[in-house]
Structure 1
Amino acid sequence: MTVTDERAGTTPATEPQTPVEPSRFSLRHPRSRIAWVRPSVWLPLAVMLAFLAVLWQWGARELPYLLPPLPKIGDSLTTEFSYYVDNALVTLGEATAGLALGFVAAVVLAVLTTELPVVRRAVMPIAVVLNVTPLVAIAPALVVAFGFGPLPKLVIAGLICFFPILINTAAGLRSVPQQVLQVYRTMDAGRFELLLHVRFPNALPFLFAALRIVFPLSIVGAVVAEMSASGSTRGLGTAISVASSMNQLPVVYASILVLAVLGVLLLLVVTLVERRVLHWHDSAHN
């Protein structure tokens, strides 16, 4: 607020401003580094897990043919730990390889559909059809086409990750404001320079939003491939299928628990990478 005395001709005086306190939601705030030790952060989750454990034990007692007791699941994990680790590594390898395959194909196609409208009109309807097609239905055809090796599993895992990456990346590449593009064009920036310095940085938040979905989803794709593709002998999907056929419920639920842990770890990895890469974006401070 300024105060001016026109008759005396004095210089406007400015009131001192109160310094703005850093937001407590900022990642750079020192308190955010130890927020996880507060009971208000971990206590609700702990109470919820305890409630679910009690509910599970009650269901295991009332429906023993459907739910095994938690101690039996724990015994299966501890006594056959190497079995679950070996199969988890196989599933994780198929998931990451399929994710890499789908990621490269989706990003390249997103660039083409952004730069060439004719490609967008030709490809996007086919991509939508692939997205709504049940992958379990085409898994046997992929086995016939690519054999009984790991390639059909990689293709299925890649397909399940392909569409979210394609849609989000294309949306990010096309969402650059026209005013920004016009400024760069006045400086004689070419298509490649616009793509590298403007469109790709603008698409990174969209891309990481897709990766947060498809990283855990790649595990689902690998498991679906192992359970539906013939000739699979390793992997957690195969372990679940074999244990189900032999009515070994502790092995089934132990394998599902390991899959859940893998999904959480992959989500944690992509979240940490996103915070490092997008430190300049508003989403990194929320």
Structure 2
Amino acid sequence: MTVAGEHTTAASEAEPPAEPSRLGLRHPRSRLAWIRPAMWLPLVVMVALLAALWQWGARRLPYLLPSLPDIGRSLTEDLGYYVHNALTTLGEATAGLGLGFSAAFVLAVLTSEFPFVRRAVMPVAVVLNVTPIVAVAPALVVAFGFGPMPKLIITGLICFFPILINTAAGLRSVPREVLQVYRTVDAGRVELLWHLRIPHAMPYVFAALRIVFPLSIIGAVVAEMAASGSTRGLGTAISVASSMNQLPVVYASIFVLALMGVVLLLAVTLVERRVLHWHDSAQD
């Protein structure tokens, strides 16, 4: 008993305790890191410097840049106008992103499983990626009318290619040795896809989502500006305000769009940390 106890004690002393990051937990210090001035002070200094440069440019070129107080006054005095148009743009962005994501994910699975599908789809996807979407907008309006469908298609096309490429790369990046182990236990194609390829591709999918979520906002705005017949949305608000030389409204709308993009990016990052808590990319 004494010898066994000595061996147990020696083994416990030889093995260091598991780190919180390896257990899927974040170290308590990482949660309080933002309190340190070194974390937030550079951003505060940069924002203050940009604000000072903006104000200097607004005084020198008032016909190009409105002052920050004028932009803030436009936001506060007509907040409902911006919220209403922002919700319209956000709805178009998320719906178009869902459309593009669904099509791209299905095609990525098919191209990773069937080489002949990859040879047929990828050249067409490259052509769609390099085609100016704005030039296609009038044809989409003629085909689908003045409703939301042309905007959803334009947004989906803008988001389609990054999701397709990243997801296909993730599905094909499973190590050959791991695939051989699964095949030795007679795992079928569907089992390999569901239990191995898709989980392995999730970091690639979230990397694509970090790109296309803010990009979907840009796609919705481009669609509102390019597709005729649009009456709501921040893209329409920018077009109308530009034609009437209302610079505070233009830049206030741009500020709201930037804020929406930041919020969407933070939301994707938080979801990624929850879903991929087991992956090295979620450990800081």
How far residue 17 of structure 1 moved from its aligned partner, in angstroms, is 4.9
Q: How does 1:162-181 map to 2 (within 5 A)?
A: 162-181=160-179
Task: Normalising by structure 2, report the TM-score.
Answer: 0.93
- Cα deviations by residue, 1:19-77 (Å, 9 ceiling, x for unpaired): 47958999610011111121111111011101111100000000001000000000000
Q: How does 1:54-133 map to 2 (within 5 A)?
A: 54-133=52-131
8 Å Cα contact 2:155-2:220 kept in structure 1: yes
Inter-partner Cα distance in structure 1 for 2:84 and 2:17:
53
Inter-partner Cα distance in structure 2 for 1:27 and 1:132:
43
Q: Which residue of 1 aligns with 2:4?
A: none
Inter-partner Cα distance in structure 2 for 1:45 and 1:31:
21
How far residue 244 of structure 1 moved from its aligned partner, in angstroms, is 0.3
- Cα deviations by residue, 1:88-111 (Å, 9 ceiling, x for unpaired): 000000000000000000000001
- Cα deviations by residue, 1:234-283 (Å, 9 ceiling, x for unpaired): 00000000000000000000000000000000000100000000000000
8 Å Cα contact 2:137-2:154 kept in structure 1: yes
Q: Could you list the runs of 5+ residues in structure 1 that have no partner in the other structure? A: 1-12
Among residues 247, 250, 253, which one is paired with 1:249 in the alignment?
247
Task: Normalising by structure 1, report the TM-score.
Answer: 0.92
Inter-partner Cα distance in structure 2 for 1:46 and 1:90:
31
Q: Which residue of 2 aligns with 1:141?
A: 139
Q: Structure 1 residue runs of 4+, over 2 Å off?
A: 16-27
Q: Could you list the runs of 5+ residues in structure 2 that have no partner in the other structure? A: 1-9
8 Å Cα contact 2:137-2:226 kept in structure 1: yes
Q: 1:56 to 1:201 in 2, by over 3 A?
A: same
- CA-atom RMSD, angstroms? 1.9
Q: Which residue of 2 aligns with 1:195?
A: 193
Structure with higher helix content: 2
Q: In the alignment, residue 128 of structure 1 is paired with which amino acid? A: V
Q: Which residue of 2 aligns with 1:205?
A: 203
Inter-partner Cα distance in structure 1 for 2:232 and 2:15:
64
Q: 1:201 to 1:24 in 2, by over 3 A?
A: closer
Q: Tell whether 2:251 aligns with 1:261.
A: no
Q: In the alignment, residue 54 of structure 2 is paired with which amino acid? A: W
8 Å Cα contact 1:27-1:284 kept in structure 2: no
Q: In the alignment, residue 147 of structure 2 is paired with which amino acid? A: G
Inter-partner Cα distance in structure 2 for 1:83 and 1:207:
35
Q: In the alignment, residue 190 of structure 1 is paired with which amino acid? A: G
Q: Which residue of 2 aligns with 1:223?
A: 221
Inter-partner Cα distance in structure 1 for 2:73 and 2:38:
32
Aligned length: 274
Q: Which residue of 1 aligns with 2:3?
A: none
Q: In the alignment, residue 172 of structure 2 is paired with which amino acid? A: R
